[in-house]
Chain A
């Protein structure tokens, strides 16, 4: 595992160094009509539930601003190591997995009308996902208003680790429609609104996730430990079962305002779905200039959600193995609060003529999650950090 982590990490570091070297060469040549960029990042995630993820990423883009087109691509690897309480509670060993994600996209917008397309592939041992999408956009009123309409389809294949997909697999299809607009409110302010409607069809129940069952009348306290749950639960091992379709709706507003030496970005998203989950996500970023080469600022995010209608902290099994038709142990379907605080730093280290030809970045966000009605844990502290290098050739 650690050999794997070191190898993947070396690839990202090497890509960063090569990108920096390429930037140095680019500074010695005349600027091209094409805008060619490359980026590399290495990110890490850790939380108090013993989940660790290392994610190297490389990407690049080619754009012709005069011609109105852009192509971009990205490759990402997630190396996951987990021994969370959900795994421990089923007497399973630490779980490790590698996920590969590739994505390409493009936009052609020679005038006021633009058309875009994208495709993503995500591969892991027990899950594959293939997504493609397209969008059109139209500028109106000398670019004071931009309208967008997009569609995306995803086809997922869920399986079990170490079991061929031909032996066990489930398919899940997602169709998403997005509509939105951007408005220029004044010389310093942009507002955008976007509405998403997404239809999921297929069984998304996790084939590894067992939901503890309890006899009627048993009181199970919030955050009950694995030992307490083991003492109170019945011996039945019942797999998670979710509804096989889900309609999801969201409406979001974004405002960006440019001050003399700072940008303030505010977002609010309201969400609801056919499983009864309602959520609000509020996000604020302040990006301040410190001279021509340094940008830095704080980030705050607050997310609150209600549980799905079939959520129960302790599911009750009636005699004769009569258990609830819908049941889940996925605590991200339960009631929770997330508070994220973090920040970013960008330092342009390119030449005097092209300071932004090489930009180094660092991001760190720490999230405290409060689980309001769950077994095993009542809160989790997690951190996501990333080092990045963006090169303009």
Chain B
């Protein structure tokens, strides 16, 4: 995939995503604050290591906070 194509895909994804977003007030985020609603990968270290070896692909994890109603 060329960097130009990748940029287009990213821009399209961002535009589509933001367009579908609604504003949820902090006091409406009770469900979003549940511990299972974090954006971090729930995979444990052993499973992650096995996956890294068994799959030829990598990346895709996301560690940013926010959004969930926690800090």
Contacts and interface: CB of A to CB of B under 8 A. Distances in A.
Interface string B3-28: 00010011001100110111111101
A132 interface: no
A321 interface: no
Contact of A277 (B34, B56, B61): B56
Assign chain B's interface to a size class: 35 or more
Contact of A258 (B32, B39, B56): B32
Given A187-B29, A382-B54, A193 B39 contact: no
B56 to A, nearest CB: 5
Given A55-B45, A74-B45, A251-B6, A190 B18 contact: no
Contacts of B6: 195, 197, 249, 251
B2 to A, nearest CB: 10
B34 A263 contact: yes
A253 B26 CA distance: 24
Nearest to B10: A195
Contacts of A187: 24, 28-32
A248 B59 contact: yes
Interface stretch (A23-31, A141-149, A162-170, A236-244): A141-149
Contact of B67 (A176, A184, A267, A269): A184
A252 B47 contact: no
Interface SS of B by simple majority: loop
Given A139-B66, A182-B67, A198 B44 contact: no
A193 B13 contact: yes
Nearest to A260: B31
B21 A180 contact: no
Contact of A256 (B21, B37, B50, B55): B37
Contacts of A193: 13-14, 17
B45 A338 contact: no
A295 B55 contact: no
A281 B56 CA distance: 10
Interface in A340-370: 363, 365, 367, 369
A194 B68 contact: no
Interface string B31-67: 1101011010010111101100111111111111111
Contacts of B63: 116, 135, 148, 150
B64 A148 contact: yes
Top 8 nearest A-B pairs (CB, nearest first) are A43-B46, A196-B59, A252-B60, A250-B59, A146-B66, A271-B57, A148-B64, A269-B60
Given A114-B65, A287-B36, 16 more contacts: A41-B45, A107-B65, A144-B24, A146-B65, A179-B10, A181-B14, A183-B21, A183-B67, A184-B21, A190-B39, A256-B36, A256-B39, A303-B55, A308-B56, A384-B46, A386-B46
24 contacts: A43-B46, A114-B65, A143-B66, A143-B69, A144-B67, A146-B66, A183-B18, A184-B67, A185-B21, A190-B68, A194-B59, A251-B9, A254-B39, A254-B62, A256-B36, A256-B39, A263-B37, A279-B55, A281-B60, A287-B36, A308-B56, A363-B47, A365-B47, A386-B46
